[in-house]
């Protein structure tokens, strides 16, 4: 049996479509590979650019942090300088502006100057004052009655320095449960004490006991402390010290 030429010719004509399909698949695969290579290279380039941008940003941030650290150091130095300045100003204020104790001393000195005491005399007295009182003898304690509107009288004065100084006082009557005044003073209320010099001036002080006062007699100062005693009485303790 023989095959005709048309049979072989048909077989030859049937092969090209298969080849074309193979070539098409190879071309498609090549395109996929090329696309992958392009995508890889593109992604790598983008990653490189992004990494460079990140490194630049990191460098800029590092520079910014360094600047902030320098600014922080500068601000801390400025703060410390301001704090030292404030301390200096406070100390200067303390030196220039007198406190209450100094104001009282200035007021006392001004009062003595206005009373006619020469400035050089006042300066001599201040220069001669010792840190501690130079007292002689033992303290002397006496008691007397604080006068009130209901006090019957008597025992209402005591003398010191041989009668040179007389101390008296007035106060507010104590009350009973019915609100009626009693014959003794109320130690919780202010009292007024009078210190009178023989043939001289008298000074008064007012307040709630205990109270303290001093009277100058020549080159001596008599310092007194007055405390509440029994019922109508108060006790006065005096000591004599050198003046000034």
Q: Summarize pLDDT for 79-110 with one digit per residue, the tens.
A: 888 888 888 878 877 777 667 777 788 888 88
Task: For 32-62, give one letter per residue: b (16+ CB within 10 A) or e.
Answer: eeeeeeeeeeeeeeeeeeeeeeeeeeeeeee
7-49 confidence digits (pLDDT tens): 445 455 555 677 777 888 888 788 877 777 777 777 777 778 8
* Mean pLDDT across 51-62: 83
Q: Is the confidence at residue 3, as pLDDT, over 50?
A: no
What is the chain's mean pLDDT, rounded? 84
pLDDT band at 1 (very low <50, low <70, confident <90, very high): very low
For residues 45 and 128, give the distance between their C-alpha atoms in angstroms, rounded to a whole number: 96
Q: What is the pLDDT of residue 15?
A: 53
């Amino acid at each position: 049996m023989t095959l005709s030429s048309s049979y072989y010719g048909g077989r030859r004509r049937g092969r090209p479509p298969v080849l074309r399909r193979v070539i098409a698949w190879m071309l498609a695969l090549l395109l996929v590979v090329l696309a992958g290579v392009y995508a890889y290279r593109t992604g790598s380039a983008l990653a490189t650019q992004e990494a460079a941008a990140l490194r630049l940003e990191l460098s800029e941030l590092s520079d910014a942090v360094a600047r902030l650290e320098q600014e922080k150091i500068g601000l801390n130095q400025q703060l410390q300088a301001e704090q030292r300045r404030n301390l200096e100003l406070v100390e200067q204020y303390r030196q220039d502006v007198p406190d209450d104790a100094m104001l009282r001393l200035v007021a006392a000195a001004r009062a003595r100057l206005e009373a006619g005491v020469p400035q050089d005399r006042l300066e001599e007295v201040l220069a001669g004052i010792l840190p501690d009182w130079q007292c002689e003898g033992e303290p002397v304690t006496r008691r007397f009655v604080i006068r009130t509107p209901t006090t019957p009288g008597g025992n209402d004065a005591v003398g010191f320095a041989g009668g040179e100084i007389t101390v008296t006082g007035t106060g507010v009557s104590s009350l009973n449960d019915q609100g009626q005044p009693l014959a003794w003073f109320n130690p919780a209320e202010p009292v007024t004490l009078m210190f009178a010099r023989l043939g001289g001036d008298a000074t008064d002080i007012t307040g709630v006991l205990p109270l303290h006062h001093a009277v100058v007699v020549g080159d001596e100062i008599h310092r007194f402390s007055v405390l509440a005693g029994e019922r109508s009485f108060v006790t006065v303790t005096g000591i004599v010290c050198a003046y000034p």
